[in-house]
Each structure stands twice: as structure tokens, then as C-alpha cells.
Amino acid sequence: MSANAPRYPLVLVPGLLGFIRQLGYPYWYGIVSALRRHGATVFPVLVSSVNSSEVRGEQLLERIAEVRQQTGAAKVHLIGHSQGSLTARYAAAMRPEWVASVTSVAGPNQGSELADYLQGKAPHGSLRERLLAMVLRGIARCMALLETGYKGSRLPMDVAAAQQSLTSAGVAAFNAKYPQGLPATWGGEGAEEVAGVRYYSWSGTLQPGITDQGGNRFDGPNRACRIFARTFVREAGHCDGMVGRYSSHLGKVIGDSYPLDHFDIVNQTFGLVGKGADPVKLFVEHAQRLHAAGL
């Protein structure tokens, strides 16, 4: 371990339809290797790609236990992308003695307006909901077959629970149970430390002339984010295509307007990001921040 590396291992938690590696291609493209080059101990983990944040959180607790046993570390740092943020928050609320910090990266900590829109267009019990569920289950099953970074037992799927977990109402119910690190006011910052756990967050926004240039000119997910952004009302013009700028706030807000869409922020796809953006640097700098905090 480098003298500038965090004291505890970093556990990276993916979002909806997340993975570790698909046929060798990593979810955290270039991020794990960069962190390891700087001396950090890093574990990208897998939880159910489609399920509620609580179910995923219980699975994450099992992964944390495995990392603690493997490394001998008393605690871990949890870094969650998208729904991975809610998953990490649950784990920290359940076992704070196992967690040194939780970092939300583009996490829907107040829900996603995109999820609200989809629920409105495909309400519970409707044909549209059944079709959407069928598509998501199909994608998740194909991804499970292509997963090369996970060797554990088959993980359960629950499309309806996943969708509800990401809506504003679903996250509000989650927040009522697990409020650690949440801002008291909309757009503010939350407590930086709760029950011995540090809380951090960062996120990006779509910025015409920046996030639609550079590698993003050739990036399909970026185009999808620009379409998804049209569903936002409360945070119109202030979202990354899937999560709103202020909805992402948790604990100490490192930044909420990086020129990064929802996929750019984890250096997807193949590092095709906006003009001048460097998402990998944000992770390396955060590892150094945790080290400086004695963590």
C-alpha cells in the first residue's frame, strides 16, 4: 500500500443493471486500475443488477464481510454509483462499525425524475409495465451470462422493486428509514459524519457545448442521457440525464456540476467522455482525500 493510499479498502458498488466485468470489459472503466496504481486496495463487487436497494444492501453486507475477512481490515470505504449509492447507504446504516465512509457518485438520493416519468407512463399492473419488466429482465439475464468478474451464486431479480426504489416516492420512504448524511434542506449539504461514518458525494450535469463534444460525439449512452433529460421538470437543465444535480447531494458535496453525464461519471463507454472531462481523476483525488482524513 502506498503512503498516500486510504487506510481501508475501497468497495465499488454498481448501479441498476450493474456488473463487474462483461466479457472482460469493466463497469469502472480505467478507475480500478488507476486507484490501484496509486496504492489503494480496491474491490469492485456485484449485487443484484435489478432489485430493491434494501435487497442489494443485504447482499453488499455479505460482500463487505468477505472483504474484511480477506484483508483483515476492520472497515471499508463504500463508493456507490447511481443506485449503488442507496445500496451503500443501507449497508452503512445497518453496520456502521464496518464502514469508514460512503461516497455517492451520481446517486439518486432524493429519487430520479426519469424513474417517476417511467412509472407514470407504465403504471403498476399495466401492459406497458409488463413489457418494460420483460425487457429489463431479458437484459439482466443476458448480462448475467456475460459476467466474468463474479463467481458466486445466482442473484435474484425484482424489476418492480427496482423501479419503485428509484422513484421520488420510493426514495422518500427509504430516506425516512435511513436518513444518514442527507441534507436538511433541498440543495444543501448533509452531515459529514454520522455514527462514525463519513459521507461524501459528487455528480455531473449535461452541459451543451461540453458534454456533447469530445468522445461523447461517438457515445450512444450520452445521446440516451440527452433524451432522458427531457423528462426532468424540477431539475430541468440541471441533471446528468438520469439523476438531478441537487437530488444527488449527500454529506459533503465535493461537486455537483462536473461536465459528465450519468455514464461518463464512471468513465463509460470505453472512456468516451465529454470535452476536457476526467472522471478517473475524481476517483484518484477522492482516494487521496480519504487518506488525508486518516481513513
- Catalytic residue, chosen from 116, 212, 219, 240, is 240
Segment holding 70, helix H or strand E: helix 53-71
| Average predicted confidence (pLDDT) for the chain | 96
pLDDT reading at 3 higher than 80:
no
Percent of the chain clearing pLDDT 70 (strictly above): 99
Q: pLDDT grade, residue 97 (50/70/90)?
A: very high
pLDDT reading at 183 higher than 60:
yes
pLDDT computed for residue 1 by the predictor: 57
More confident residue, 110 or 128: 110
**Using an 8 Å Cβ cutoff, are 7 and 291 in contact?**
yes
Q: pLDDT grade, residue 2 (50/70/90)?
A: low
pLDDT computed for residue 129 by the predictor: 87
Domains of the chain (ranges, CATH numbers): 10-292 (3.40.50.1820)
Average of pLDDT values for 216-221?
Answer: 96
The DSSP symbol for 214 reads: G
Segment holding 13, helix H or strand E: strand 10-13
23, 62, 24: which is closest to 45 by C-alpha?
62
Average of pLDDT values for 66-70?
Answer: 98
pLDDT reading at 28 higher than 80:
yes
- Catalytic residue, chosen from 38, 249, 262, 286, is 262
Grid coordinates representing 128 are 406497458
262 is catalytic: yes
First-residue to last-residue Cα distance in the chain = 13
Sign of torsion over alpha carbons 170, 193, 47, 60: negative
pLDDT computed for residue 232 by the predictor: 98
CA atoms within 13 A on the CB side of 110: 21
- Catalytic residue, chosen from 48, 49, 82, 112, is 82
* Phi, psi (degrees; rounded to nearest 5) at 104: -95, 120
Q: Of 63-67, 132-136, 196-200, which range is least confident?
A: 132-136
82 is catalytic: yes
pLDDT reading at 125 higher than 90:
no
pLDDT computed for residue 122 by the predictor: 84
